[in-house]
A and B are shown apart, each in its own frame.
Chain A
């Protein structure tokens, strides 16, 4: 895999390359010894680097171009995925994908934002920024899941809803608002997973559910650090401070009572080991689904509304 390397990943990558070289001579006992010494060093280095990441560095990890995207997860954790298209009104939005699939023994509706990996696929996917049709397609598929009593899993990974002229003409705000309302009363379980970037209303538009899971190195907030910097500092240069101020990491959101579960990533991040990441996510989803499917529908919806009703910090 062609790797994009973030600055703070460099020392690890360098040591790993050295290890690769040494492995060729591993039958030499001295080198084997050296090798195990370096291996230990790599593990320690990884642990110390990843434990001490700043919020901005986590944002960078969440955007890492080698991270698994929605369709990668679907490929790795489900079987017989049948992708469904279109909002039945205007068009098929390529920035949101969805369809029925088997997750182990469960037939589920799985929906997520989809980014591209290169310029061409990014243009095709509009960089994972949906237009109103995307949200309406997602809602259509969720209604389909409700009709056939299939649980819904949504995967969030977007830099935001697309701020374009046509998006406004076709009611970006209405599309998102409608989804919030309809998802809050959908009569099947919904599990939401933030797998990369959770930028504002564009993410929340498919983000109402009974359980909110967040992968360890992802972010979720009301605005991106860059836009926050440009508005509050009136300059693009304060994104690091903005990321700190916004408290947008998985552990931050757990403390704020917004998410339920932090899903651990393989050491170095999801992009270093797609299969392992998918395995952990699948296990977590199966566990959550098992619990949710035992709850009666009325109770489920009651709890879902209450869950979001409790969020906030006021006094007086």
Chain B
């Protein structure tokens, strides 16, 4: 416990979260527009009125970015072994099956091979819905294997990130996944195979401080929260409200950490153009 406290008076409450929509009609959390399911899908899960990007998972990104039916998943059932037998208010060994049941996924990333406009790619997409997209051994291992595959097959790597950071329940082993993925990306870089990193809302902590920031090309969706420390921690540290737009995609673009901010509807096209320019 710290021996002094900062006043909370000048700290505003957290903003609302955008969630994956359910049912036929969805209300946009940003502008309040009611959007029909079909329209939402056609718009790549963005609001046609205000352009808000809804949080989606790896399944949707596979549909949006890859040629239809081209995706071939690897290591689907790879799961954590709870190496520390970690317990907080809950056992980690109970959290995992709960998350599996809720998301129909085995961990927070899905990887495989596919094509974009017939060009082969290795794809890894994260799922924020699985324990906050946190990176433990499984995420690190699967992203690592996707890099290995990219290296071996000499096809470009595309990673779509969405993560709250490293997974606490695997302690230092989670931390080492940052080392693992970055070291492998060094090999990929030496082999001159393109790596495109797409950062979506939110990408923070250990994922940002490893593979997500290491793309040859870094692309973010509009308005995505991207950073190392979470805004709440920074607010507490400096004891002030954060400026509007802080740690959002546009802010990172302005400060030189992204190559571009691309609307989700244009993402596939942009990536395809880049792949053509880099690999033809």
**Residues of A participating in the B interface, judged by any CB pair closer than 8 Å:** 161-165, 167-174, 176-178, 180-182, 184-185, 200-201, 204-205, 207-208, 220-223, 226, 228, 231-233, 236-238, 241-242, 245-248, 252-253, 256, 258, 304-305, 308-309, 311-316
Show 26 residue pairs from A and B whose CB-CB distance is below 8 angstroms, ordered by the A residue.
A163-B233, A164-B229, A168-B229, A172-B229, A173-B212, A173-B226, A174-B257, A177-B213, A181-B182, A181-B185, A184-B183, A201-B205, A221-B171, A223-B168, A226-B1, A231-B168, A233-B88, A241-B88, A245-B84, A252-B171, A305-B187, A313-B137, A313-B173, A314-B138, A316-B78, A316-B79
B234 within 8 A of A: yes
In Å, the complex CA distance between A164 and B167 comes to: 22
Given contacts A181-B185, A201-B178, contact A314 B233 (CB under 8 A): no
Check if B183 sits within 8 Å of A309, measured CB to CB: yes
Are A222 and B171 in touch, CB under 8 angstroms?
A: yes
Does B182 lie within 8 Å of A180, measured CB to CB?
Answer: yes
Q: Do the beta carbons of B89 and A258 come within 8 Å of each other?
A: no
Is A168 in contact with B247, judged by CB distance below 8 angstroms? yes
CB-CB contacts of B225-261 with A at 8 A, as 1s and 0s?
A: 0111100011001100011001100010001110000
In the complex, A156→B166 CA distance in Å?
Answer: 19
Cβ of A197 to closest chain B Cβ, rounded Å: 13
B106 closest partner in A (C-beta): A316
Whether the pair A185, B190 counts as a contact (CB closer than 8 A) is yes
Task: Please report the C-alpha to C-alpha distance between residue A246 and residue B257 in the assembled complex, in whole angstroms.
Answer: 32
User: Is A312 touching B79 in the complex (CB atoms < 8 A)?
Assistant: no
Binding site for A on B (CB under 8 A): 1, 75, 77-84, 86-89, 106, 136-138, 140-141, 144, 166-168, 170-180, 182-187, 189-190, 205-206, 208-214, 226-229, 233-234, 237-238, 242-243, 246-247, 251, 255-257
Q: Is there contact, CB below 8 Å, between B186 and A222? A: no
Min CB gap B255→A, angstroms? 5
Closest 3 CB pairs of A and B: A163-B229, A312-B137, A184-B183
Most A CB atoms within 10 A — which of B136, B141, B229?
Answer: B229
Smallest Cβ distance from B145 to chain A, in angstroms?
10
| A313 touching B80 in the complex, CB below 8 Å, given contacts A181-B189, A221-B175 | yes
Residues in A with CB closer than 8 Å to B88 are 228, 232-233, 238, 241-242, 245
Q: Which residues of B contact A185 (CB under 8 A)?
A: 183, 186-187, 190
CB closest residue in chain B, given A161: B228
The smallest C-beta distance from B250 to any residue of chain A, in angstroms, reads: 13
CB distance from A185 to the nearest CB of B (A): 4
By the criterion CB–CB under 8 Å, are A253 and B172 in contact?
Answer: yes
**Contact between A164 and B237, CB atoms less than 8 A apart:** yes
Contacts A168-B228, A258-B172, A314-B78; A309 near B184 (Cβ below 8 A): yes
Residues in A neighbouring B186, C-beta threshold 8 A: 181-182, 184-185, 305
Measured between beta carbons, the chain B residues less than 8 angstroms from A311 are 137, 173, 176-177, 179-180
| Cross-chain contact A232 with B183 (CB below 8 angstroms) | no
**Complex contact A180–B179 (CB within 8 A):** yes
Taking A176-B228, A201-B228, A311-B179 as given, write out 16 further A-B residue pairs in contact, using a Cβ cutoff of 8 Å, ordered by the A residue number. Answer: A169-B255, A173-B208, A174-B209, A180-B179, A180-B182, A184-B182, A201-B175, A201-B209, A208-B183, A226-B1, A245-B87, A252-B172, A314-B79, A316-B75, A316-B77, A316-B78
Given A181-B189, A181-B214, A308-B176, A313 and B83 contact (CB-CB distance below 8 Å)? yes
Complex contacts, A182 vs chain B, CB 8 Å: 186
A181 touching B166, Cβ below 8 Å: no
